[in-house]
Amino acid sequence: MTGEYSDALWPDERQTMPLRALAELSGLSEDELRQLVDCGALAPFSESSGQHVFSAVSITVARTARRLRDDFELEPHGVAVLLAYLDRIRELEAQLRALQARLPR
């Protein structure tokens, strides 16, 4: 039975991919990804021969960006602003969870 199960994988920071692969996985165009990098919303893992290389962690960010682009009909700059706010919200939620965990029931 166990053989039928597929392994759910962690986003591995050491696993890298070129711009084209991230575009395919996220549904964003290569140009949109470059614009997100220029806005600081997406951080490339490294550059190889002038080309951006991304870690697998970027998949989640790029997919969220694609959803925001499609669902709110936003330009990359608007997506970048919203991503920054979402990141801040997630950070604050994590702090709130940490504080609530410390409170006795």
Partner 1 sequence: MKFKDYYAILGVDRGASEEDIKKAYRRLARKYHPDVSKEPQAEARFKEMGEAYATLKDPEKRAAYDQLGQQRPGEEFRPPPEWSTQFGEGAGTFDEMDLADLFAGLTGRRGRPGRGGPAPAMRGQDYEITAPITLEEAFQGTHLNLDLTTTEFDEQGTPRRVPRIVKARIPKGATEGQTLRLPGQGGRGINGGPAGDIYLHIALRPHRLYRASGHDLFLDLPLTPWEAALGASVEVPTLAGLVNLRVPSGTRTGQQLRLSGRGLPKPGGGAGDLYAIAQIVMPPELSERERGLLKELATASTFSPRQHFH
Q: Residue 47 or residue 103: which is nearer to partner 1 going by CB?
A: 103
Q: Which residues contact 54 (CB under 8 A, 6 or more apart)?
A: 16, 17, 18, 19, 22, 42, 44, 45, 62
Contact pattern from residue 27 through residue 66 relative to partner 1, giving x for each residue in contact according to CB under 8 A and a dash for the rest: x-------------------------------xx--xx--
Name which position in 47, 49, 50, 100 contacts partner 1 (CB under 8 A).
Answer: 100
- Measure the CA–CA gap between 67 and 79, rounded to whole angstroms: 9
Both tokens of residue 67?
A: 């959803």
Instruction: Please name the residue that has the structure tokens 């949109």.
Output: 32
Interaction site with partner 1 (CB under 8 A): 2, 4-11, 24-25, 27, 59-60, 63-64, 67-68, 71-72, 82, 86, 89-90, 94, 97-98, 100-102, 104-105
